[in-house]
Amino acid sequence: MIPAPFEYAAADSAEHALELLATFGDDAKLLAGGHSLLPMMKLRLAYPSALIDIGHLRELAGIRADGDELVIGATTCHADIADSELVRSQAPLLAHAAAQVGDPQIRHRGTIGGSLAHADPAADLPMALVALGGSVEIIGPDGTRTATADAFFTGFLETSLEPGELLSAVRVPSTPGVGWGYQKFVRRANDWAIVGVAATGGRIALANMGPVPIRARAAEQALADGASPAEAAGLAAEGTAPTEDIHADRTYRQHLARVLTRRALEHQAG
Amino acid sequence: MSILGTRVLRTEDPAFLTTGGVYTDDIVDERLAGACHVFFVRSPVAHARIRSIDVSAALRAPGVVAAFTGADLADLPLLAPPMAGMINEGMSQPLLARDAVRFVGEPVAVVITDDPYQGEDAAELVDADYDPLPPVIDMAEAAADGGPVVLFPDAGTNVAASFGDAAGLKADLFDGCDAVVTRVIVNQRVAPAPMETRATAAVWADDGRLTAWIPNQGAQGTRGALAAMLGIDPAAVRIITPDVGGAFGAKFGADPEHAVVCWVAQRLGRPARWAETRNENLVAMTHGRAQQQTVTIGGRRDGTVSAYRLEILQDAGAYPRFGAFLPALTILMAPGPYAFGRAEAVGRSVVTNTTPVGAYRGAGRPEATAAVERAIDLFAAEIGMDPAEVRRKNLLPAFTEPHTTAFGAVYDSGDYATALEKALTAAGYQDLRDDQAKRRAAGDVVQLGVGLSCYVEITGPGMEAGGPRENATVEVHPDGRATILTGTSPHGQGHATVWAMLASDELGIPVDMITVKWGDTDLIPEGGGTGGSRSLQQGGAAVQQASRELIEVARQRAASALEANPADLVFDPGRGAFAVTGDPEAAVPLAQLAHAERLVVRTVFTAPGPTFPFGAHVAVVEVDTETGKVVLRRMITVDDAGTVINPLLAEGQRHGGIAQGAAQAFLEEFLYDADGNPLTASFADYPFLSATEVPSFELADMATPTSYNPLGAKGIGEAGTIGATPAVQNAIIDALAHLGVRHIDMPASPQRVWRALRSASGAAAAGSNESEDA
Amino acid sequence: MQVQLTVNGQARSDDVEPRLLLVHYLRERCGLRAANVGCDTTSCGACTVLLNGRSVKSCTVLAVQAAGQQVVTAEGLAADGLLHPVQQAFQQEHGLQCGFCTPGMVMAAVGLLAENPHPTEAEVREGLEGNFCRCTGYHNIVRAVLAAADAAATEATA
């Protein structure tokens, strides 16, 4: 119910956060909204020795246009992304995905950087980023680097972030007018997806069909080859080996992936 | 104009809305100053012998005052099963496990700290070593003769109790029937999950008396249960009941944890407090339902049911609590509102390595209704008749004189057919069937289902000592205010408002000048508490009776004061005064009659027996035939619980009951894996209903008074739950009936629905017209 | 470590452990016990308060994260002994029974109406998806929020 003890330091800049990470070492974690991390700590599934608070750093927040991309600061909360006129017009799939996370209170605190760094394959934003073909900016002791969505998620709750690095911003293509579809299958409104599908611009990403958000590449290829949405969707589960849990076994999950992919392709907004 | 029957807003609410209710964990009291905090260490395995529990590391953790295990409590009695004589007493529970653990979550040790934040840190350091034993999780396995796993070797069996005469079941019960259907159905295990978890704050005085603040459903019962576990005289225990954040049957009496906290306070000579976490609550508060039912129903093609049999297997969990007794109530109500030619019901309760099962809103009666309503629909499908028509053909005709069923239940009054027609009319039943037909013809992906239930249920069953009765004390003070002491124990039902309304109606004192008290055993040593929907019909009736008796006491005083004949005096509640008939100036206010001597009356209202509210529910669902997802679109209900004293509150009870009942049909289930590990032990995993899963409800009114109390009231608290579950379940199956689906067990999760559809289409392909969920 | 924040308009400075949850800070340090703890998984919303005007689950915010910010709890809603319109609507519509979820529900409703003053029934239900109630079946809670919205609209045009 309450976390084990830890040390706490509020960073006064992104650079300072990096220094604190180096000082406190590998068992330290960054804290933005804390709505992926604190629940784990409260259940004593995570025991960071220190939390470095970046949640209030304005330099890490905010949404702006940069050429043909949108740049979203890592500590921008889901509610602000969902409400942003810029995101809704330029990358509406992302605004929609942000609006699906949890519930209003969670959206007021949870951040895009936190959600992506946590890398839950059942979550909305990792799937959305993969569908959009976005990327993340990472700062670290050795400077800045970029990771594409396809390369960033490396395993269940794992990303290519190295110790000592900080996810500073998220980039997504500006695609006003491009159709997009989003299907999140849940039993209750604020659940994680049993299976989720996000589709736009010929890319199809699946949530909770594997340890990371997965591209439905066979379905994408079929679409590119001129298949109808229904035909392409029939291939959505190709190559997937989804886990089984109380909500769904493998067969049902794969079935849902096909149905939801078809719906995501057929019922496109924008 | 009587205040009774009007929508009086709750007097409780301003405090609840501004500063919040004061629940046990909120209590600030000088008697609890310096309290230590108790944390439970619980078994992580479902079945094991305890090899050792090492608390030495925990004792060295910061702020730790003490740590105890079952060995330290060896002098205390075990918690024996309730309903003495009916349930195997060899299946008692030690307050902290001693030699064995029998369910994941069973308390094995406590760690006590100065500060609440230190407790979890310390509890993590307790090192408990177990020798695992094979667990039995499935109740049918547990029931099997000669099964390998027996939870209580000395008992030699897993059967905790038997009800009815299994040997007496007639082999020819269904002879002569045109159609007979039999099915094994599941009434699944659920978690009551009140929003407030369990808690205790306890302190012993120098005179050896214990004062304990515990959220409960009846302080007097809690006192008795706690005293028994502590091996002390109940007179040495004072229970104070703070605000209670919901109970739903699971906060009756006391649990081992409550007693352990009290024992710790005594042992340490220091007040002790415990606040249960939600994860603890989901595995260690008693669960609900958990029956496996074999229903057999047979009758004629014209829709008349000739015979019905219900065989119940009840999962009692690891230690029999009230859950082991539920089959008795299910059997009592087995035929429901129907006039079946012949009916039989038997049941057995068995222990398994799971959380003990207790009472949960309806406690045995929802199970009866769910079984018979499913059976009716199975029969209707078998003979190809509209389920509404089958019900019409079999409902008991309306009656105003008590009707005794073959199972010994004496239904006080009932008009089941009218309830059904009202519900069908309110629902627009034919329009729904037309819409359904259109969607079926078009082969829509989203199909419509309409489900019905007709129910009758027993309220105020009088299981407390002394039978169905309740006491009330009413006092009028010289300043014109009044105080009521009640033996009921509200936890959201609004007794403070309704009891005040009842007294106000008699005494003429405004509701907001009447204080209602309950739940302190020093103040109110006797009482039946609140459960089984008993409170208004017994407790409310007692308040009215006490108020009336008080007026008669006051009349004598008024006669002296006015030097008049009591027979010449009239009490006018509007004036709040007695006056001589024909001489309104010769009057004396009621409050004045309290000046010289207290004006107070205590009375006991005794009901002739339990009452039987009834109703009919119609559920409308949409089922996505591609994904299996169910959406509840409409709930239309008739819940006739006799005279309604406060419609606002009665509706609230119906709403809450309907939501819980519906949730069982398509959402909630407490699950274990094959090793007995709970899979739904948090609110993230246990699919607790949120506002987005239910619509607004459509309540139709019907009130058939009972003659059993002057109010004409029956109990309404559980009715909504009882009617809603089968209506929703039947609706889901109805949505898919044209595709060959005949049954889907609860909860109708998307996966279950999808499997039922696949099974049905597979069966159709193979040329059969029967299906079951795979 | 020291943390300074404003609670119901009062500035405060307290010495706290980093791991002290905001809900426990409010309950134990500030004596504001209306917010309740109902779960362990940020699911139930009984702990909901406003943080800089936005609804948050105070069980999943560290007190230190609220440094320099404004917290409003249910106790801070009523002014001069008068119920806030949302509180009033909850009483009027019988939107509470046992009351345990109520302070959190009310704060979530206040937050919802601040962002969406004229919600539909569906929007109210979605807006309260993070607040569990076991007693009411949500029916009257939804009515209360819609009534509060109507009352505010009526007052705005009056």
CA dihedral C120, C126, C131, C135 (to 10 degrees): 60
Asked whether residue A38 falls in the same domain as residue A98, the answer is no
B760 lies in a domain? Answer: yes
Phi and psi torsions of A219, nearest 5°: -65, -40
pLDDT at B769 over 80: no
Percent of chain A with pLDDT over 90: 97
Asked whether residue B233 falls in the same domain as residue B301, the answer is no
Asked whether residue B445 falls in the same domain as residue B301, the answer is yes
Asked whether residue B593 falls in the same domain as residue B495, the answer is yes
Asked whether residue B353 falls in the same domain as residue B385, the answer is yes
Asked whether residue B363 falls in the same domain as residue B239, the answer is no
Asked whether residue B3 falls in the same domain as residue B116, the answer is no
Which tokens sit at B561?
Answer: 């004061």
Last residue of a domain, one of B559, B576, B606: B606
Q: Does ipTM surpass 0.95 in this model? A: yes
A27 lies in a domain? Answer: yes
Domain boundaries, chain C: 2-74, 85-157
In this prediction, residue B771 carries a pLDDT of 41
* Inter-chain residue contact B13 with C40, CB threshold 8 Å: no
pLDDT at B147 over 90: no
Number of residues that this document lists for chain C: 158
Place of tokens 């760690």: B111
Asked whether residue A162 falls in the same domain as residue A64, the answer is yes
Q: What type of residue sits at position B355?
A: T
Preferred mutation among C57, C58, C110, C112 to probe A, highest tally of A CBs within 10 A: C57
In this prediction, residue B410 carries a pLDDT of 95
Q: What is the mean pLDDT of residues A132-160?
A: 97
pLDDT at A41 over 90: yes
pLDDT at C155 over 80: no
Q: What is the mean pLDDT of residues B625-629?
A: 98
Which of A18-32, B73-87, B238-252 has the least mean pLDDT? B73-87
In this prediction, residue B145 carries a pLDDT of 82
Homologous superfamily of the C85-157 domain (CATH):
[2Fe-2S]-binding domain (1.10.150.120)
CA distance A111 to A123: 12
Asked whether residue A159 falls in the same domain as residue A185, the answer is no
A184 lies in a domain? Answer: yes
Chain A partners within 8 Å of B688 (Cβ):
188
Q: How many separate domains does chain B show?
A: 4
A2 lies in a domain? Answer: no
Q: Considering the domain C2-74 in this protein, what is its CATH number? A: 3.10.20.30
Q: What is the mean pLDDT of residues B452-481?
A: 93
Instruction: Give the DSSP H or E segment for B273.
Output: strand B272-275
First to last CA, chain C: 49
Nearest in space to A248 (alpha carbons), one of A237, A235, A234: A237
Q: How many separate domains does chain A show?
A: 3
Q: Tell me how close the Cα of B114 comes to any Cα of chain A, in angstroms.
A: 16
Chain A partners within 8 Å of C55 (Cβ):
104-105, 108
Helix, strand, coil % in chain C, rounded to nearest 5: 40, 15, 40
Asked whether residue A109 falls in the same domain as residue A94, the answer is yes
Asked whether residue B305 falls in the same domain as residue B449, the answer is yes
Q: What is the pLDDT of residues C37-79, one digit of tens each?
A: 999 999 999 999 999 999 999 999 999 999 999 999 999 998 8
Residue C45 CB: number of other CB atoms within 10 A? Answer: 32
Average pLDDT taken over every residue of chain A: 97
Asked whether residue A11 falls in the same domain as residue A95, the answer is no
Asked whether residue A143 falls in the same domain as residue A66, the answer is yes
CA distance B441 to B714: 45
* Inter-chain residue contact C129 with A38, CB threshold 8 Å: no
Fold: same for C2-74 and C85-157: no
pLDDT at C144 over 70: yes
Across chain A, how many H-helices and E-strands are there?
12, 14
Q: Tell me how close the Cα of C68 comes to any Cα of chain B, in angstroms.
A: 24
Interface chains of chain C (3 or more CB pairs under 8 Å): A, B
Asked whether residue A199 falls in the same domain as residue A258, the answer is yes
Work out how many CB contacts closer than 8 A connect A with B: 52
CA distance B211 to B216: 14
Chain B partners within 8 Å of C124 (Cβ):
691
Q: What is the CATH number of the domain that holds A19?
A: 3.30.43.10
Percent of chain B with pLDDT over 90: 95
pLDDT at B405 over 80: yes
* Inter-chain residue contact A187 with B690, CB threshold 8 Å: no
CA distance B84 to B715: 27
Work out how many CB contacts closer than 8 A connect B with C: 183
B183 lies in a domain? Answer: no
pLDDT at B543 over 70: yes
Q: What is the pLDDT of residues B278-312, one digit of tens each?
A: 999 999 999 999 999 999 999 999 999 999 999 99
Question: What is the longest distance spanned by two Cα atoms in chain C?
Answer: 49
Which tokens sit at B463?
Answer: 């299981």
First to last CA, chain A: 43
In this prediction, residue B765 carries a pLDDT of 67
Last residue of a domain, one of B133, B151, B171: B133
Q: Give me the long-range contacts of B646-650 (CB less than 8 A, separation at least 24).
A: B646/B5, B646/B6, B646/B7, B646/B8, B646/B494, B646/B497, B646/B498, B646/B501, B647/B5, B647/B6, B647/B7, B648/B7, B648/B8, B648/B9, B648/C94, B649/B10, B649/B493, B649/B494, B649/B497, B649/B498, B649/C94, B650/B716
In this prediction, residue B146 carries a pLDDT of 78
Preferred mutation among B25, B277, B690, B693 to probe C, highest tally of C CBs within 10 A: B690
Q: Tell me how close the Cα of B749 comes to any Cα of chain A, in angstroms.
A: 8
Asked whether residue B303 falls in the same domain as residue B384, the answer is yes
Domain extent for B53: 34-133
pLDDT at B460 over 60: yes
- What lies within 8 Å, CB to CB, of B518 at 6+ separation is B219, B241, B485, B486, B487, B488, B489, B490, B495, B524, B527
CA distance B741 to B729: 12
Asked whether residue A168 falls in the same domain as residue A65, the answer is yes
Q: What is the CATH number of the domain that holds A218?
A: 3.30.390.50
In this prediction, residue B767 carries a pLDDT of 58
Q: Mind giving me the DSSP string for B126-166? A: -EEEEEE------HHHHHSTT-S--S-TTT-SSEEEEES-G
Candidates A7, A42, A103; nearest CB to C40: A42
Asked whether residue A184 falls in the same domain as residue A141, the answer is no
Q: What is the CATH number of the domain that holds B292?
A: 3.30.365.10
Domain extent for A215: 180-266
Average pLDDT taken over every residue of chain B: 96
Q: What is the mean pLDDT of residues B382-396?
A: 98
Asked whether residue A115 falls in the same domain as residue A190, the answer is no
Q: What is the mean pLDDT of residues A177-189?
A: 95
pLDDT band for position B79 (cuts 50, 70, 90): very high
pLDDT at B772 over 60: no
CA dihedral A57, A60, A61, A65 (to 10 degrees): 150
Q: Tell me how close the Cα of A247 comes to any Cα of chain B, in angstroms.
A: 7
pLDDT band for position B690 (cuts 50, 70, 90): very high
Residues 17-76 in A contacting C (C-alpha not used; CB under 8 Å): 31, 34-35, 38-39, 42-43, 51, 53, 55-56
* Inter-chain residue contact C97 with B690, CB threshold 8 Å: no
Asked whether residue B250 falls in the same domain as residue B389, the answer is no
Q: What pTM was estimated for this model as a whole?
A: 0.97
Last residue of a domain, one of A173, A206, A234: A173
In this prediction, residue C158 carries a pLDDT of 65
A201 lies in a domain? Answer: yes
Nearest in space to B285 (alpha carbons), one of B261, B314, B256, B242: B256
* Inter-chain residue contact A109 with C41, CB threshold 8 Å: no
Q: What is the mean pLDDT of residues B456-468?
A: 86
Which tokens sit at A203?
Answer: 């890319």
pLDDT at B684 over 70: yes
Chain C partners within 8 Å of A102 (Cβ):
42, 130
Instruction: Give the DSSP H or E segment for B619.
Output: strand B614-624
Which tokens sit at A85?
Answer: 């006129």
Place of tokens 């309503």: B373
Candidates C91, C134, C137; nearest CB to B194: C134
* Inter-chain residue contact A103 with C64, CB threshold 8 Å: no
Number of residues that this document lists for chain A: 270
In this prediction, residue B475 carries a pLDDT of 98
Asked whether residue B684 falls in the same domain as residue B542, the answer is no
Any C CB within 8 A of A191 CB? no
pLDDT at B55 over 90: yes
pLDDT at B768 over 60: no
According to DSSP H, which parts of A133-185 are helical? Answer: 149-152
pLDDT band for position B259 (cuts 50, 70, 90): very high
Question: A interface toward B at CB cutoff 8 Å?
Answer: 1-2, 4-5, 43-44, 185, 187-191, 194, 246-249, 252, 255-256, 259-260
**3-class secondary-structure state, position B168:** helix
Q: What is the CATH number of the domain that holds B65?
A: 3.90.1170.50
Asked whether residue A123 falls in the same domain as residue A62, the answer is yes
Which tokens sit at A204?
Answer: 């199809």
Candidates A10, A34, A56; nearest CB to C60: A34
Asked whether residue A115 falls in the same domain as residue A220, the answer is no
Candidates A2, A51, A103; nearest CB to C21: A2
pLDDT at A60 over 80: yes
A1 lies in a domain? Answer: no
Which tokens sit at B391?
Answer: 């019900």
Question: C interface toward A at CB cutoff 8 Å?
Answer: 1, 17-19, 21, 24, 37, 40-43, 45, 48, 51, 54-57, 59-62, 64-65, 67-68, 108, 111-112, 115, 126-127, 129-131
